[in-house]
Amino acid sequence: MKVDCIIDGKTLSLSLNSNKPLSMILMENIHNESIKSCCNGRFCGKCVVLLEGKAVLSCLVPAFEIRGKNIVTLESFQTTKDYQDIEKAYSIVKASPCPSCFASRTLLIQSLVSMNEKDENDIKKEMELMDCNCMDTEDIIKVVQVAIEIRRRRRARRS
């Protein structure tokens, strides 16, 4: 089947098996470096991408579901001011994810920040997508809350 979508700002037309998972599309067809090849559908949380701005496990998204959708991986997200907000929050909180989960955890945090999610229970629930224990739960909550405040201030200055 033919799938038209936008991945990291590039409009693509791909010929794919309709059930091929997005993680495999990103690794095999797009040669994306931030999607960890160790995932292979094991629900480890290391293949998170933003699909229409929402964090999803790309190993669970079949090709037919990405038709006409916008997908963002860490590669393109790192070029944004929103990424800089999260990077500053990591620095302020003095906590950062390990290299193995950095891409996925950062995109999960972006999803929460973009929704202005401040509820600690909701943040914890979203972070359950990750099986890596490199960051303390309280530090993750602080990073999200600090990033929300940094983004709010940055946008207020622009107005």
Q: What is the pLDDT of residue 57?
A: 92
Encode pLDDT of 31-80 as tens digits: 887 776 556 566 788 899 999 999 999 999 999 999 999 999 999 999 99
- And the tokens for 45? 């949380």
Q: How far apart are the first and last CA of the chain?
A: 45
pLDDT at 39: 62
Share of the chain above pLDDT 70, in %: 95
Q: What is the 3-state secondary structure (H, E, C) of the chain?
A: CEEEEEECCEEEEEECCCCCEHHHHHHHHCCCCCCCCCCCCCCCCCCEEEECCEEEEHHHCEHHHHCCCEEECHHHHCCCHHHHHHHHHHHHHCCCCCCCCHHHHHHHHHHHHHCCCCCHHHHHHHHCCCCCCCCCHHHHHHHHHHHHHHHHHHHHHHC
pLDDT, position 107: 96
Dihedral sign for Cα 31, 79, 49, 146, please.
positive
